[in-house]
Structure 1
Amino acid sequence: MRGSRPLIGTALTAGALAAASLVLAPAAAAVTPGTAQASYDCGSWGGGTATLTATQSGTAATITINSAVTTPLAVGADQINATLTLAKAGGGTVKFTGRKNPPLPAGGAVKIGPLSGVVAPGNSLNSYFAGTALSMNVFGFPVACDALTSQTPGPFVFS
């Protein structure tokens, strides 16, 4: 029993240090809301409501898009080049780009992402109305989509 006292002191010290490191650790970055909806018009490709899901890790952010737009042909994985442009409160834009999509069946809803972008703390991003909001290139065919509505329940605000 006599040898256990130093071990108890060591264990208590280690526990105190671990608790202190948790208190001093930086908070994880978060974007709110995590999900928003907006309507887009993609010309002959159709249109409708899209669900945008945002994530953030520091200044790196991603957005995944689940849209009402359908593809007339089956599309293999990672075959759609896409750029989503969002308007920044106070002026300017932030672009999210990538070539990431799951396999899509003919007539299936287009799902894209995650598309990557860079954000700053406090960025508030909403639908972009001053030009093409979402551009895609599918099998060499350009698809331009215009935002018709602002995001609901509101813009993405990055921390």
Structure 2
Amino acid sequence: MRSRSTLGTVAVLTGALAAAGLAFAPTAGAVSPGSATATYDCGSWGGGSATLTATQSGTAATITISSSVTTPIAVGTDTISSTLTLAKGGGGTRVFTGKKNPARSAGQSVIMGPLSGTVASGDSLNSYFAGVALKMVIFGVTVNCDAVTSQSPGPFVFS
């Protein structure tokens, strides 16, 4: 009987240690702010305000863009290839890409994402920089958008 008691004690202790380990395990990273707005100029496609919503899990991050830029033609689900380039504080860039979008009728605002990218702890990212901040390829037509304002309330800071 003594060996069963010892095994039971070991099992209880192992379970308690596992639970304690989960309580002190590192959590997934968080990005702040969770959303920001910026203004984009997309040439003949127009321009306007866009809301960028960011999420983070470790070094993986996603950004979804809801813009006031409208599509002149109907687009189907997952037919817009998007590349969002964000300026990194201190130099360099981080790129988020994807082919994710809901179906939109002609004249509706464009929604893209989630676009996926990789970040590092401490990255401070802003869509405002010299160059094309957002590139969309729709039915083989490339639409380049320049950010004409910094993000408000500020850049995304990843932890």
TM-score, normalised by the number of residues in structure 2: 0.89
Matched with 2:145 is 145
The equivalent of 2:71 in structure 1 is: 71
Preserved contact between residue 128 and residue 151 of structure 2 (Cα < 8 Å):
no
Q: Letter of the aligned partner of 1:105 in structure 2? A: S
**Tell me, what secondary structure is at the counterpart of 1:66?**
strand
Runs of 4+ in 1 over 3 A off after TM superposition: 8-16
Report the counterpart of residue 31 of structure 1 in structure 2.
31
Q: CA deviation at 1:16?
A: 3.3
Structure 1 distance, partners of 2:133, 2:91, is: 15
Amino acid at match of 2:24: L
1:122 counterpart SS class: coil
Aligned position for 2:113: 113
Q: Counterpart of 2:87 in structure 1: which amino acid?
A: A
Shift of 1:19: 3.8
What are the ranges of 5 or more consecutive residues in structure 2 without an aligned counterpart? 1-5
What RMSD, in angstroms, separates the aligned Cα atoms of the two structures? Answer: 1.9
Give structure 1 stretches of 5+ with no counterpart.
Answer: 1-5
Query: What are the residue-to-residue correspondences of 1:1-159 with 2, within 5 Å?
Result: 13=13, 16-159=16-159
| Residue deviations 1:80-126 (CA, integer Å, cap 9, x gap) | 01100100000000110111111111111000001111111100001
Pairwise CA distance, 1:21: 1.7
TM-score under structure 1 length normalisation: 0.89
The answer to whether the 8 A contact 2:40-2:48 is kept is yes
Number of residue-to-residue matches in the alignment: 155
Give SS of 1:44's match: helix
- Percentage of identical aligned residues: 69
Q: Tell me, what secondary structure is at the counterpart of 2:22?
A: helix
